[in-house]
Amino acid sequence: MGQNQSDEDEEVELSDIQPLYTSFMRECPSGALHLHEFRKIFGVQSTSEVEAMYMETLFKSFDTNRDNVIDFMEFVAAVHLVLRGNLEDRLRWSFKVYDSDDNGKLDKHEVKRIIRIICQLKKNNNMTPTEICDRIFELLDENKDGQISLSEFMEGAQKDAWIMDLLKLDTNARGWFRENLGKKT
């Protein structure tokens, strides 16, 4: 009590649920958000293999019951994370996206796979994906076991702005949600 909360720290309010449901049903009349609709939300319209792989990875991270659609409750959780999730929540989600085999550790293959996609999407040619991956492991893999744990990921991302920028998976969804759900930026 008595603490000021930023917009990002607030929960989704009950009064936000009805307009959110209306928006969800307008975008997804079937009551289920499919991958092609999800791509639209994130502003990805091209059919490049790289973007398709990235969007599928993000989609699966929100599809918590693994039924290949995002239902309204999963949508609310995604909206909350994108619009109001705190840094820790967003980093945990990013870790989940990187951790393609769900073993709770990131290896170089998993990190390089996402970094390669990010580099292609951002047209980042300053460093190769291998160089970026090597630098990430150099900075985050504290025990030098060739894997990054969730705690190494969280702590390392918060210590280095360059790492944070790469790991937090900056997406276009925040702008889309704010525009389409009538939120103020």
pLDDT < 70 stretches in the chain: 1-14, 42-47, 124-125, 169-185
Is 8 inside any structural domain?
Answer: no
- The domain that holds 150 is classified in CATH as 1.10.238.10
Is 2 inside any structural domain?
Answer: no
pLDDT digits (tens, 9 = 90+) for 85-98: 788 888 898 898 89
Is 135 inside any structural domain?
Answer: yes
Cβ count near 147 (within 10 Å) = 18
Is 9 inside any structural domain?
Answer: no
| Amino acid occupying residue 76 | V
- Domain residues for 138? 15-179
Tally of domains within the chain: 1
Report the distance separating Cα 175 and Cα 183, nearest Å. 9
Which helix (H) or strand (E) segment is 105 a member of? strand 105-106
